[in-house]
Amino acid sequence: MRDVQGERDTRNIPIDRVGVSGVSYPLAVMDPSENVQHVTGTVRMSVSLPKDFRGTHMSRFIEVLEKCRGKMTLGNLEEIVDALKEQLAAPEAEVAIAFPYFVRRAAPVSGAESYTRIDVEFWAMKASRFDFVLKVAVPVQTLCPCSKEISEFGAHNQRARVEIETRMRRLVWIEDLVSVAEQSASAPVLTLLKREDEKALTEMAFLNPRFVEDVVREVSLRLDRDERIKWYRVSVVSDESIHNHQAFASLERFVSFPAR
Amino acid sequence: MRDVQGERDTRNIPIDRVGVSGVSYPLAVMDPSENVQHVTGTVRMSVSLPKDFRGTHMSRFIEVLEKCRGKMTLGNLEEIVDALKEQLAAPEAEVAIAFPYFVRRAAPVSGAESYTRIDVEFWAMKASRFDFVLKVAVPVQTLCPCSKEISEFGAHNQRARVEIETRMRRLVWIEDLVSVAEQSASAPVLTLLKREDEKALTEMAFLNPRFVEDVVREVSLRLDRDERIKWYRVSVVSDESIHNHQAFASLERFVSFPAR
Amino acid sequence: MRDVQGERDTRNIPIDRVGVSGVSYPLAVMDPSENVQHVTGTVRMSVSLPKDFRGTHMSRFIEVLEKCRGKMTLGNLEEIVDALKEQLAAPEAEVAIAFPYFVRRAAPVSGAESYTRIDVEFWAMKASRFDFVLKVAVPVQTLCPCSKEISEFGAHNQRARVEIETRMRRLVWIEDLVSVAEQSASAPVLTLLKREDEKALTEMAFLNPRFVEDVVREVSLRLDRDERIKWYRVSVVSDESIHNHQAFASLERFVSFPAR
Amino acid sequence: MRDVQGERDTRNIPIDRVGVSGVSYPLAVMDPSENVQHVTGTVRMSVSLPKDFRGTHMSRFIEVLEKCRGKMTLGNLEEIVDALKEQLAAPEAEVAIAFPYFVRRAAPVSGAESYTRIDVEFWAMKASRFDFVLKVAVPVQTLCPCSKEISEFGAHNQRARVEIETRMRRLVWIEDLVSVAEQSASAPVLTLLKREDEKALTEMAFLNPRFVEDVVREVSLRLDRDERIKWYRVSVVSDESIHNHQAFASLERFVSFPAR
């Protein structure tokens, strides 16, 4: 059969990225202690396409995914992009793997345990040098300092989402970034809370009012002190309870040591 | 050209509904005072298909939509389903039109005006008798009575959504149902609030704690007193600020007079 | 601490459903052969609330979920709704669990294996009698019979989704319904296809043109012949490649034996 | 009342972006000929926040939006970002306005008219210099050249989406980019097609097979010849009909004259 994709292209236009996206696939994610979590991944894989080729061979992306689905770690992401480069004869390859990840949490007073869902993304790219970004999105609570200050009682509060992306010097794991996010907000968000826990979180939030601007800065202060991190982007999006829209703040920073 | 859809089908299976969905179309919605709001509608139109026909003629749905896009009122929905029945030679036709609709609101203290988005759906069906349901989804705030009662200060609150569906004896307009939803919650949600308004809404919510169960009952009490309404379904979904999930309540009722 | 939810309500309005929704939770789904698939579930749990109670105890839903997350089968769904009824002292309880489920498939010519994602939902309710519905949504391809007939060459085709809901006399498993859906369409959809497979599927679809009306009837014929099934609803939604909207068909049927 | 946002912040961290997002608002978009289209916009507005300020004043974003909602053109976007900079005393401001926009189209043979929905985004930013990007997303059809070549009959085809972002020397309007997208694909996608039109589009697609790589290059060739454009990014995402995932290609280019 004719290899239409492999034909010579004369339009003289290199393509930055060509590949597959929205691939829903079962994956086994291993943390640094070799614990496995079986997750449902949404995968995007792509390569750059030199100007002389008409197309790439899309099925080879899936073949590479098939081979590595049983074990997906921060350690073998470079192998995956290397495999893509080789299988597709490409100068550059990229992979992005998004998945819901569950961390076990205990309620603050009762100790009742439940899972919190964290949205995680591994992103890796390689031309000559390997580049990797770990992203986590963590649900938290924000309580408005202005509302608390100006009102005689109460203060509006709401669910917000802290997103942290990092490039690292040494491995930082998902749970580390979840802690940073939760400590920087007015209060954490948990799936199972008994009445005594609800009381504790309500009071904690009232004692820790935070604008989205505050949360983003608190995250920044914590990440600046972490020698394992060399770059980060943090954004906080708050589903305002007095509005039908979101408030957000974001910042991006390279960290040099000693830090500011 | 051969009319493949019009061919005789021998599988002996009538089809309940066949049609088009997800049709994004510009529509002019007229309220009872003949005011026009230009909206982006998402339309589903369908008919029943008797067992003897292989298929329906999908393009005719769009022709009917084209004809009525300039004027879409509660008054001409019956004409639309009649046109579908006739154009598609069908014993039964159905149309559902969902669109964002904007109501003008003033902030409680400053009087500053802005728009609140309401999600509206018109649903109509006709076999022999015409049936019509108006649905509105209204953003509101809920403040948790339990959290307020058990905590020394503060109370968790969040954005919630009140959905009201009604069948009517006499016309009830969108704005009427928006008012019912807002009055039944802890506080309304507005797009533009100055500081004095934020103070007012924070305090209002604190003084009106409501579970989703309370909101659904408060809506129910109000609708029971409205002689224009003969059936309703109300549901309240609250984006809990201490959890990463929703709390919800719903009920459905035929209203007979005198009411309960 | 005061039990605000447990207080007596005097508004005299029973609530049909009150509970939690959008709960993202890791679950272990067991098939009839005791094989386990670790999935990310989205859970809704609710009970009916008699008129005398102000609210339900939302945390108990999560406690029940926590207890059964390790093992979720069609066999223990009744235990879950029974536990909800008991823990929440409710006359009626309902649970709906949606999750992506992966089935292993071989390409038709090369035999190359990959996973196909199926969207599954378990729904169960119990007042006095236990009721259960299994729902699967299967991606397939449809090729338009009209387009093929009237065009000199080619025929438009597209991805579609077959949704089958069933109530059963005897256990029908997910894989059974996936097969019914795929055999009823123009061709199956697979994640990994080598060139020889792409050729095979392209030709298969061209030889099996199907309107959404045809697919829904073909599914119906197959389910009518299956003695394990007592009720079903099937709908097919096709992402038309010549339009920016969907075509759909649906029907619902109780199956009595001998069938039509 | 205390101005909590205006307080001095000592954490020494400037914030890149702070503002509101997901604001759903009715807007009047004017094209170059002063024709008005009433649209439902989703708006994000933000400013940079110097390190000395604790927070920004979120309500002022909405006040600016309120003022300009009646008239939103490519011409007055700079006024909007200037107003944001002034009202919020910010060194830099950004606005992004996404909305569905409808273009009137005639079917190729019957001439039957209908609307095609285009997703448009205006993005503007200003620190010292004003920067503006127009983005359109256009539905099209792609027919696979490989599938056509290797199969004895037929060829898989599907709906795809061409996204074009441009920075301009001189005004390029939405309709211009829609034409570029449609001419670069296998065939356009229309809402209303009579049978003769369906035949025409089916045959047109079969005679113009295009990989996503081809479409992205065809768009690139057309934009390279347009002297009004100084930068563009184009991406094509195809909802593969033989897979349950997407194929995509993208490229970004500054255009210098004479072009390549």
Which residue in C115, C193, C195 is closest to A25 by CB distance? C115
Instruction: Return the pLDDT at C260.
Output: 47
Question: What does the pLDDT read at residue B196?
Answer: 97
| Secondary structure string (H, E, C) spanning D188-243 | ECCCCCCHHHHHHHHHHHHHCCCCHHHHHHHHHHHHHCCCCEEEEEEEEEEECCCC
Q: What does the mean pLDDT of chain D come to? A: 95
The DSSP H or E segment spanning C42 is: strand C36-49
Task: Count the Cβ atoms, other than its own, within 10 Å of residue A238.
Answer: 28
Pair type for strands D93-106 and D113-126: antiparallel
Distance CA C107, CA C100 (A): 21
Among the partner-chain residues A151, A202, A244, the one whose CB lies closest to the CB of B151 is A202
pTM, entire model: 0.96
Percent of chain D with pLDDT over 70: 98
Residues of chain B with pLDDT under 50: 260
- Going from the C-alpha of A250 to that of each of A133, A161, A216, D13, D14, the distances in angstroms are 17, 12, 7, 11, 10
**Any residues with CB less than 8 A from the CB of D17 and at least 6 apart, and which?**
A248, A249, A250, A251, D46, D47, D48, D94
Which residue carries 């943090």 as its tokens? A234
Can you tell me the mean pLDDT for A120-136? 97
- In this prediction, residue A75 carries a pLDDT of 78
Give B69's DSSP letter. Answer: T
- Give the pLDDT confidence of D207-254 residue by residue, as tens digits: 999 999 999 999 999 999 999 999 999 999 999 999 999 999 999 999
CB-CB: which of B23, B63, B191 is closest to D23? B191
Please tell me the distance from the alpha carbon of residue C135 to that of residue A47, in angstroms, as a whole number: 37
Specify the residue for token string 């019509």: B132
Tracing tokens 């109460």 back to the chain, one arrives at: A154
| CB spacing of A203 vs B243 below 8 angstroms | no
* ipTM attached to this prediction: 0.94
C-chain residues near B251 (CB < 8 A): 13-17
Contact D147, C199 (CB under 8 A): yes
* Per-residue model confidence (pLDDT) at position D258: 59
Report chain C residues whose CB lies below 8 A from the CB of B220: 11, 13
Specify the pLDDT at position A260: 47
Judge whether residue D187 has pLDDT over 50: yes
Nearest CA among D101, D103, D139, D99 for reference residue D123: D99
CB D251 within 8 A of CB A47: no
DSSP code of D145? Answer: H
CA distances, B229 to each of A78, B253, C13 (Å): 64, 10, 17
Contact between chains at D55 and A22 (C-beta distance less than 8 A): no
Q: Would you kindly state where each structural domain of chain B is located, as residue ranges?
A: 15-254
Phi, psi for residue C251 in degrees, rounded to 5: -150, 160
Using alpha carbons only, how large is chain B's radius of gyration in Å? 22
User: Which of A7, A35, A38 is the best residue to mutate to test the C interface, defined by the most C CB atoms within 10 Å of its own CB?
Assistant: A38
User: Is the model's pLDDT at D84 over the cut of 50?
Assistant: yes
The chain D residues in contact with chain C (CB within 8 A) are: 116-117, 139, 141, 143-144, 146-147, 150-159, 187, 189-191, 193, 195, 198-199, 201-203, 205-206, 239-245
Among residues C15, C125, A201, C95, the alpha carbon closest in space to that of B212 is found at C15
Homologous superfamily of domain range C15-254: Urate Oxidase; (3.10.270.10)
Cβ of A26 within 8 Å of Cβ of C102? The answer is: yes
Taking 3-state DSSP, the helix, strand and coil percentages for chain D, each rounded to the nearest 5, stand at: 25, 40, 35
- As a whole number, mean pLDDT of residues A171-192 equals 97
For residue D18, give how far its alpha carbon lies from the nearest alpha carbon of chain C (Å): 29
Say which residue the tokens 């950004």 belong to. D94
d(CA A170, CA A229): 7
- Show which subunits contact A, needing at least 3 CB pairs below 8 angstroms: B, C, D
Q: What is the mean pLDDT of each run of 10 residues along chain C (260 residues)?
A: 90 97 94 86 97 95 90 86 96 97 96 97 97 98 97 97 97 95 98 98 98 98 96 98 98 77
Q: Residue type for C109, please?
A: V
Residue with the bigger pLDDT between D139 and C258: it is D139
Residues of D with CB under 8 A from a CB of B: 1, 23-26, 37-40, 59, 62-63, 66, 69, 100, 102, 112-115, 117, 191-196, 199
Q: What's the Rg (C-alpha) of chain A? A: 22
Distances (CA, A) of B196 to A8, A195, B192, B202, B207: 68, 33, 11, 10, 17
Using CA atoms of B35, B36, B37, B43 in order, give the dihedral in degrees to the nearest 10. Answer: 130
Question: What residues have CB less than 8 Å from B126, skipping those under 6 apart?
Answer: B78, B81, B82, B85, B92, B93, B94
Q: How far is B216 from chain A (nearest CA, A)?
A: 19
Q: Which of A82-86, A185-189, C67-71 has the lowest mean pLDDT?
A: C67-71
Which string of b and e fits B244-257 if b means at least 16 CB within 10 Å? bbbbbbbbebebee
What tens digit of pLDDT does each residue of C30-61 get? 887 778 999 999 999 999 999 999 999 999 99
Q: At residue C155, what are phi and psi to the nearest 5 degrees?
A: -175, 135
Record: contact D58-A250, CB cut-off 8 A: no
- A241 chain-B contacts, CB cut-off 8 A: 141, 157-159, 189, 241
> In this predicted structure, what is the pLDDT of residue C74?
78
Closest residue in D to A9 (Cα) is: D214
d(CA A144, CA B89): 59
Cα–Cα distance, A32 to A168 (Å, whole number): 15
Give the residue numbers in B contacting A (CB under 8 Å), as ranges: 116-117, 139, 141, 143-144, 146-147, 150-159, 187, 189-191, 193, 195, 198-199, 201-203, 205-206, 239-245
Distance of alpha carbon B80 from alpha carbon D84, whole angstroms: 45
* Cα-based angle D221, D222, D223 (whole degrees, multiple of 5): 95
Of A154, A202, A205, the CB nearest to B203: A154
What does the pLDDT look like over A193-245, one tens digit per residue?
999 999 999 999 999 999 999 999 999 999 999 999 999 999 999 999 999 99
Q: What are phi and psi of A137, to 5 degrees?
A: -120, 120
Tell me, what DSSP letter sits at residue B170?
Answer: S
The pLDDT value recorded for residue B70 is: 73
